């Protein structure tokens, strides 16, 4: 059936085609069924039925489809009912416990990238990966598929480097510090990061408190060329773009799918052109990985996959049983970073130490001698701070770093929580701190969050443990209630 396009400025979060009820009847499709739309190529869309908006001879396209189809209003397209796509047979094959070939994985991932699979179909795929597992060969092929279906960057220079933490630790905002130190030491770091998924903030969200992070590929390249590094949001660059769609579906259950984790990280690094990579796997109670042994096992898998892509990859297993840094929430984490880079007397020691450790490990991997000493010298001398400033200014195209930093503000409502009795802080839950910050308004309200005055160790009665920041009285009440009920910080 031929229908005329009506482009709607309508964001449905998935490719939706809106039909008149009579057209739907003729095509014999119901709402939520799939149709094939053919012009020079065929794309698939989910059907909505909206008679008031769309006439019988029209098809309304959601923004997600407008972007793919790129046809003007009233252009004519062929619309037909869509049977199961080949990708669904392949997903079923994986559900049946069989291995998928590189070609088959490319097919599935390409269908995900082109929005031709529904979230439910992606859920089946990730469930099959999780429950039936993937062999190392399959995981490598999955990684290849994720790289092939996206943009791939190339940079000049011998040591294109990156660091990546598998996450799960509150705070732990080492990336901007490591990037500043290592770029000062001469490494090239085309660093892209994500926004918060379940934490108080992601690296991209923290950088965004003082900088643009949605860079075009052109701006990203010129920033890296000029300063040796960048601190961009990875979401809009098209590097392994299937990843974001899969993560979105995993998030529905907060599911950790190991082959997907491995493929996700390695595909992003290869796509960004990195060759020297440090992978940080925090372990311990309350971390994603419970024990050192499990962390090492995961590390071995990272190493194996990296060999297939000729990467110089080193895994470091770090202690992850409590948060790192004092501030949690976009602005509070940026203030921690700045205090470390500026060598302020009250800067968090753990964040400084972990950043130095990761920097020197990455520098060592890139054949820099006396790496630890050099990293310390770069940080202490203020060179890292200057490099950070240069990166941010170049990224923004304006030399207004100081003004941006000065305008950082914490939230209107503030409350200090003191220890009710003397004792020992035995546990600070990463998940608990993240939930607390989410209640206070992070990551959306960048001025909100929590500041931790004490880490694990002794505390005296009435000493401050936490300061809470929020822009809403109700949220403050909810946060206090949460603290009392769930006790994310245990004092014995």
Residues that bind its own copies (CB under 8 A): 8-14, 16, 21, 28, 30-33, 46-53, 62, 84, 88, 91-92, 95, 118-124, 127-128, 130-132, 248-249, 252-255, 444
Cβ neighbours of 175 (radius 10 Å): 25
* Spatial distance between the Cα atoms of 266 and 260, rounded to a whole number of angstroms: 10
Neighbouring residues of 176: CB distance < 8 A, sequence distance ≥ 6? 203, 206, 207, 231, 337, 341, 388
**Number of neighbouring beta carbons within 10 Å of residue 395:** 24
C-beta of 348: minimal distance to its own copies in Å?
Answer: 28
**Rounded to 5 degrees, what are φ and ψ at 44?**
-115, 150
Q: For residues 477 and 457, what is the distance between their CA atoms, to the nearest angstrom? A: 27
Q: How many CA atoms lie within 13 A of 226 on its CB side?
A: 18
* Minimum CB–partner distance for residue 137 and its own copies (Å): 21
Q: Which residues of 224-239 are buried (b: 16+ CB within 10 A; e: fewer)?
A: beebbbbbbbbbebeb
Q: What whole-number distance in Å separates Cα of residue 327 and Cα of residue 56? A: 57
Catalytic residue among 33, 219, 256, 478: 256
CB of 9 to its own copies, least distance (A): 6
Q: How many residues does the chain have?
A: 492
User: How far apart, in Å, are the Cα atoms of 410 and each of 56, 216, 257, 470?
Assistant: 54, 30, 36, 8
Tokens representing 36 are 């094939």
Tell me how far, at minimum, the Cβ of 121 lies from its own copies, in Å: 6
In this structure, the strands spanning 276-283 and 312-319 are parallel
Output the smallest distance, CB 41 to its own copies, in A: 21
Q: Least distance to its own copies from the beta carbon of 233, Å?
A: 15
Considering the complex, state which of residue 123 and residue 351 has its C-beta at the smaller distance from its own copies: 123
Respond yes or no: is residue 256 known to be catalytic. yes
Distance from C-alpha of 234 to C-alpha of 245, rounded to nearest angstrom: 13
Active site residues: 256
């Amino acid at each position: 059936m031929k229908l005329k396009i009506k482009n709607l400025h309508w964001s449905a979060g998935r490719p939706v085609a809106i039909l008149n009820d009579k057209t739907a009847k003729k095509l014999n499709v119901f709402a939520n069924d799939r149709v094939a739309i053919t012009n020079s190529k065929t794309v698939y869309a989910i059907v909505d039925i909206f008679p008031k908006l769309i006439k019988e001879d029209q098809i309304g396209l959601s923004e997600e489809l407008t972007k793919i189809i790129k046809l003007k209003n009233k252009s004519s397209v062929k619309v037909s009912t869509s049977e199961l796509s080949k990708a669904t047979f392949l997903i079923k094959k994986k559900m049946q416990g069989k291995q998928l070939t590189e070609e088959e994985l490319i097919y599935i991932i390409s269908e995900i990238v082109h929005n031709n699979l529904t979230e439910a179909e992606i859920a089946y795929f990730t469930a099959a990966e999780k429950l039936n597992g993937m062999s190392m060969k399959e995981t490598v092929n999955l990684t290849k598929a994720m790289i092939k279906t996206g943009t791939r960057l190339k940079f000049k220079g011998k040591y294109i480097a990156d660091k990546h933490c598998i996450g799960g630790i509150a705070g732990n905002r080492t990336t901007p510090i490591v990037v500043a130190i290592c770029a000062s030491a001469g490494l090239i770091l085309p660093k892209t990061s994500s926004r918060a998924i379940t934490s108080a903030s992601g690296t991209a969200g923290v950088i965004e408190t003082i900088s643009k992070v949605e860079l075009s590929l052109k701006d990203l390249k010129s920033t890296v060329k000029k300063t040796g590094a960048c601190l961009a949001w990875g979401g809009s660059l098209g590097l392994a773009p299937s990843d974001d769609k899969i993560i979105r579906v995993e998030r529905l259950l907060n599911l950790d799918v190991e082959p997907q984790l491995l493929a996700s990280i390695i595909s992003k690094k290869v796509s960004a052109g990195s060759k020297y990579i440090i992978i940080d796997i925090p372990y311990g109670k309350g971390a994603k990985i419970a024990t050192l042994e499990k962390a090492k096992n995961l590390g071995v898998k990272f190493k194996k996959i990296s060999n297939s892509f000729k990467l110089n990859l080193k895994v470091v297993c770090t202690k992850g049983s409590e948060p790192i840094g004092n501030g949690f929430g976009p602005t509070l984490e940026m203030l921690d970073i700045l205090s470390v880079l500026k060598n302020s007397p009250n800067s968090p020691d753990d964040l400084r130490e972990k950043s130095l450790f990761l920097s020197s490990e990455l520098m060592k991997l890139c054949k820099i001698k006396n790496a630890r000493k050099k990293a310390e010298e770069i940080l202490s001398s203020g060179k890292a701070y200057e490099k950070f400033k240069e990166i941010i200014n170049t990224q923004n195209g304006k030399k207004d770093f100081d003004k941006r930093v000065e305008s950082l503000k914490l939230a209107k409502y503030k409350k200090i929580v003191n220890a009710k009795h003397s004792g020992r802080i035995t546990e600070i839950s990463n998940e608990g701190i993240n939930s607390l910050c989410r209640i206070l308004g992070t990551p959306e309200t960048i001025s909100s969050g929590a500041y931790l005055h004490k880490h694990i160790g002794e505390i005296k009665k009435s000493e401050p443990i936490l300061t809470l920041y929020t822009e809403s009285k109700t949220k403050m009440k909810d946060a206090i209630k949460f603290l009392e009920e769930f006790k994310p910080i245990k004092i014995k």
